[in-house]
Structure 1
């Protein structure tokens, strides 16, 4: 009898996908011009999915399409320009995605930025909260009819153990009344990713859509460019993943039959993460109980709708 393939922190996206056939499925991936997004698009397009990828540069998007088709000549790929930190760009991108794909089987909210200098969008929102959370909140909200239409369907939100650095500051999420700290802002945005997951999973639990948050691990990607790369992190003893390993958990979350009906969870290393409420353990493994608090999740949902200036039908 053949043993089932056991996945762990060293597994790759291809191993997480296995022999699953995605023909006829539509997969939308944000931030797919490099790193985890591109690798996820590569393996899923190779499995027959129609992949819609977003990015901030038309030139980079075109280059990714060329690479994807070099890997899979018959790959079906569409591209959409998207600046997640700007709501009007998000709305325009969402409309374009709906034109391309009236049904969306899988949405992977992959894009993110980590610890940049203080920047604000056109509405004055702090850039990490704006891009890492609000952009994906608005995009997901607009795409919901297409996602529900494709049920059983899945939403995967990338978070990070960095959420352990800071919760959401509901009184001052944009650092208007406190000194800006790039890591606090990053931690807040990653906490928001989990709370958004919890709230949305609860709202969609009876509509055939699952929503889970993913910690990809410490991965050699451009995400770390603002803090000097992954070299210093690796020297601290933390396990640093290559890109194919880093993309494994989000691919697993998106396609694995083991996760059918599983929703509102925080995943890492192709498994279910444990609770880690040790205050001395910061940005390492597991999740803080507070990040799964339903009252905080509902409060974030209300704040997000207020900032977006619209309500989404869930």
Structure 2
């Protein structure tokens, strides 16, 4: 019989009180973002739902306030597929909230057919990485003066699957593969987090961390290719967890006082597909500092956003 004691299960009840804190959550109208926003609101934060569709955003507000009648919530229009929209949203957020405690880069698209953003970027790379890169850079001045502030970016198991940073064809103009494009975008999320943390380390106030939800049942699965969709419909119920559980790694990265900059959180059970959140490891490729720095430089060029660190 083993003498080991099981690690405690971190749940939403472990989120510290968040009164006086401002949290901006992208893609908060459904799924992981909605659950993340709900829990933060339940614990007293002022939560900004940064969403592309304001009608769906208003429905999300209604869903949260039905469970948390005293929730302090506001809406911000944000279309990560448009750098113009990102700049407008960042300006409005800075005007409304001179200090921001949490920026949670949650929104994302997965396995979309070939599409381009308004600025001509591959949709998955543009929304998942470049949009959040630009938003973070434009909001960072509101986070840096705030002790304990955090930038949390949501990645995925996908960062291990056919994943590389294709500097010779970042936008998949020559040949498009939706799985490889998603892998690149999610790998970029982690590389961004690690490079951002290096730059923040000298500031002493703000940290960057990352999370992944495991196999969470959300709307992202809607773009799975046909053959995969049929298999997924049969197998996913065996491995997936609901959005509330899938949001726990993000919530832990955002609120656990013990979090260190550069940590990556994910489910701790069933091969990382489900379970309670813990610190997990990302791929060796994601820790390549040379590629991280090259990706950062390219991202600054593409978005024309310079970071104040």
- 1:49-105 CA-to-partner distances (Å, cap 9, x unmatched) read 000111111111111111221212221111011110110011111111112211111
Q: Which residue of 2 aligns with 1:310?
A: 305
Q: Does 1:133 align with 2:129?
A: yes
Alignment equivalent of 1:289, drawn from 284, 288, 292: 284
Counterpart of 1:232 in structure 2 is: 232
CA distance in 1, matches of 2:110, 2:148: 32
* The 10-residue stretch of structure 1 (231-240 or 141-150) with the greater mean CA deviation from structure 2: 231-240
Match of 2:12? 16
Separation in 1 of the partners of 2:263 and 2:219? Answer: 26
Matches within 5 A, 1:54-203: 54-165=50-161, 166-177=163-174, 179-203=175-199
Q: 1:243 to 1:82 in 2, by over 3 A?
A: same
Q: What is the match of residue 6 of structure 1?
A: 8
Determine if contact 1:220/1:230 at 8 Å carries over to the other structure. Answer: no
- Residue number among 280, 288, 298 corresponding to 1:273 in the alignment: 280
1:237, CA displacement in angstroms?
8.9
Higher relative contact order (CA 8 A, sep 6+): 1
Cα-Cα RMSD:
1.9
How far the C-alpha of 1:4 sits from its partner, in A, is 10
- Structure 1: distance between partners of 2:86 and 2:7: 38
Measure the CA separation in 1 of the matches of 2:295 and 2:223: 27
Distance 1:19 1:210, change over 3 A: closer
| Contact 1:17/1:255 (<8 A) preserved | no
Give the equivalent residue in structure 2 for 1:222. 219
Does structure 2 retain, via aligned residues, the 8 Å contact 1:234–1:240? no
The answer to whether the Cα contact below 8 Å between 2:159 and 2:184 also exists between their aligned partners in 1 is yes
Distance in structure 2 (CA, Å) of the matches to 1:176 and 1:154: 35
Counterpart secondary structure, 1:28: strand
Separation of aligned partners in 1, 2:170 and 2:50: 26
**Separation in structure 2 between the aligned mates of residue 124 and residue 46 of structure 1, nearest angstrom:** 39
2:270 alignment partner in structure 1: none
- CA-CA distance at 1:209 after TM superposition: 1.1
Decide which moves more: 303-312 or 42-51: 303-312
Runs of 4+ in 1 over 4 A off after TM superposition: 228-231
Question: What per-residue deviation string (whole Å, max 9, x for no partner) do you get for residues 271-290 of structure 1?
Answer: 1113xxxxxxxxxxxx2111
SS at match of 2:144: helix
In 1, Cα distance between the equivalents of 2:230 and 2:183?
18
TM superposition score normalised by structure 1:
0.88
Structure 1 partner of 2:41: 45
TM-score between the two structures when normalised by the length of structure 2? 0.89
Report the counterpart of residue 279 of structure 1 in structure 2: none
- For 1:214 and 1:180, the matched residues in 2 are separated by 27
Deviations 1:209-248 (A, max 9, x none): 1111111111110011011669717627962111111000
| Counterpart in the other structure of 1:281 | none
Match of 1:209 in 2: 206
